[in-house]
Copies of this chain bind each other. A is one copy, B any other.
Amino acid sequence: MVLLNNMKSLMKYCKLCSMRGIGQYHTLSRLFQPLNVKPKDATVTKDQAISISQKLLMDTGVISLRSNGMFALLPLGQRVMTKLIKLMDTEMSCIGAQRLSLPLLTSGNLWKKTGRWESTGQELLTLLDRHGKEYVLSPTHEEAVTNLMSEMYPFSFRQLPLRLYQIGSKFRDEMKPRFGLIRSREFVMKDLYTFDGSEEAARDTYEEIGGAYNRIFQRLGIPYLREPSSSGEESEVPSPRKMVYDVYRKASAPMRRLHLQGDDEDDVNEPQTSSVSTWLASPVTMQRKSLPGKPPLNKGTRVGHTFLLGTKYSKTLNALYQNESGKPEVLQMGCYGIGLSRVLAASVEVLARAGNVKWPWEIVPFKICLIGPKKGSKEGGAASWVGHLAEVLSSTSALQDEVVVDDRDRLTIGKRVMEAKKSGYPFIVVVGKRACEMVPMFEVLDCVNDESQFLSHKMLMSWASQLS
């Protein structure tokens, strides 16, 4: 067939490489996962409170403090972030949102037009280029996206509703960065901006996106509250036009009243941007600031917001659409955010138990950690099972690229199990003493329910095939 020429010429890439992943597994000895690292230049000073999540994430080599309020995602953290991004992409696609990327630098002029250059104050990181032009290292992109839309006219009513989102780095020069990824100066956000033709349509959008956000947090399986926010320039009463998502430990989830009490001091003191800001201001939390090293957040961590903006930005920056009669009309906007760095940290913050990380299943760095016998031990002969099991487990659909082998066989099984539990792998498969029996049995530890059982090879495969 003629068309095959095209296909053949187009598809001469390495077939081998595109097959990788199936049956492939990772080994802990090669994983760049520095444990218990104490940075030299970037120590946590006494006036910086650290949180449960910051300590655990640093201790297990998921993040690394690089400078004040700025963290690197190490390979394990990057794996979590990649999965979070995939989850966002799926849910955003479900509501017809389209992903784009605006520059991280936004012209200072746009921020001056909306007044936020002044109102954001010192939290805004700004710079001059070589020609002396001012730029904002964007904490959020209302100005940039509205400016983009202002150039689209005549943008037809037929193309509404329009939903545009991006996933990327954001910046805020916090006075006192603290609690690791929860209040950092450089962080990753998914920010979504919506455009509608009428207030009513904008409200429908608002509801639909609220639904998507609920699904996201439900999929993550972290306890959260969706509540009206009382913060804002126009009013100090809670408004249904502004909802926030706060993550709680189950035990400490506050009554609604208690929650609203918390929305005070910090938020009033802070310049109001519409991006995510932690709610850390209850009297209890305020006291804790003077106790470095104490986990500060058994209250709530703000991880998301949904704001109906009306025409605040679109009017100022002239973002219009052409209505059914061909007349220009101002677009109704909404902005919606989920702090991905915060979701990563908040998950650990609220799910951790007894000093062990617990990851939401959907974003865990690896689903299974496989541990073989110590070299030279009685059960040393069972070592040959490890590679085989890693390969066949990695070949099941749910575990492709999800198996890590702790191959540091100079360490005892017990020591490695302890570390694997600390790192939060949901399942640990141990090739130990009973792997030497006539019918070899392998121990599967369920770290979420603190249960374990011994499975034969056949049962293990059947168990793995049921995972998803």
Contact = CB atoms under 8 A, between A and B. Distances in A.
Q: Main SS of the interface on chain A?
A: mixed
Interface string A444-462: 1010110101000000000
Contacts of A34: 151-152
A126 interface: yes
B127 A126 contact: yes
Contact of A453 (B2, B32, B38, B40): B2
Contacts of A252: none
Given A11-B468, A129-B173, A137-B127, A30 B215 contact: no
A250 interface: no
B70 A17 contact: no
A426 B10 contact: yes
A3 B173 contact: no
Nearest to A73: B101
A74 B90 contact: no
Interface in A91-107: 91, 93-94, 96, 98-107
A175 interface: yes
Contacts of A186: 103-105
A127 B130 contact: no
B103 A463 contact: no
Contact of A466 (B4, B73, B90, B93): B4
Interface string A31-73: 1101001111100000000000000000000001011101111
A378 interface: no
B125 A72 contact: no
B219 A9 contact: no
Interface string A180-222: 0000011000000000000000000000000000010011010
Interface residues of A, number: 102
A66 B21 CA distance: 39
B169 A32 contact: no
A22 interface: no
A292 interface: no
A93 B463 contact: no
Contact of A151 (B7, B32, B40, B90): B40
Interface string A152-187: 100000110010100011010101000000000110
A439 interface: no
Contacts of A14: 215, 218-219
A66 B449 contact: no
Contacts of A1: 453, 463
A123 B159 CA distance: 40
B2 A446 contact: yes
A54 to B, nearest CB: 15
A78 interface: yes
Interface string A5-19: 111011111100110
Contacts of A105: 67, 70, 171, 185-186
Contact of A168 (B6, B30, B169): B169
Given A13-B218, A361-B10, A148 B467 contact: no
A155 to B, nearest CB: 8
Of the candidates A101, A133, A427, the one having the most CB atoms from chain B within 10 angstroms of its own CB is A101
B3 A451 contact: yes
A419 interface: no
Contacts of A415: none
A103 B10 contact: no
A123 to B, nearest CB: 8
A29 interface: yes
A12 B220 CA distance: 9
Interface of A: 1-7, 9-14, 17-18, 20-21, 29-32, 34, 37-41, 64, 66-68, 70-75, 77-78, 81-82, 90-91, 93-94, 96, 98-107, 122-123, 125-127, 129-130, 133, 135, 137, 144, 147-148, 150-152, 158-159, 162, 164, 168-169, 171, 173, 175, 185-186, 215, 218-219, 221, 360-362, 426-427, 444, 446, 448-449, 451, 453, 463, 466-468
18 contacts: A1-B463, A4-B466, A6-B446, A10-B361, A20-B93, A20-B94, A37-B151, A41-B107, A66-B106, A67-B105, A68-B133, A70-B103, A72-B101, A72-B102, A74-B100, A78-B100, A78-B101, A130-B175
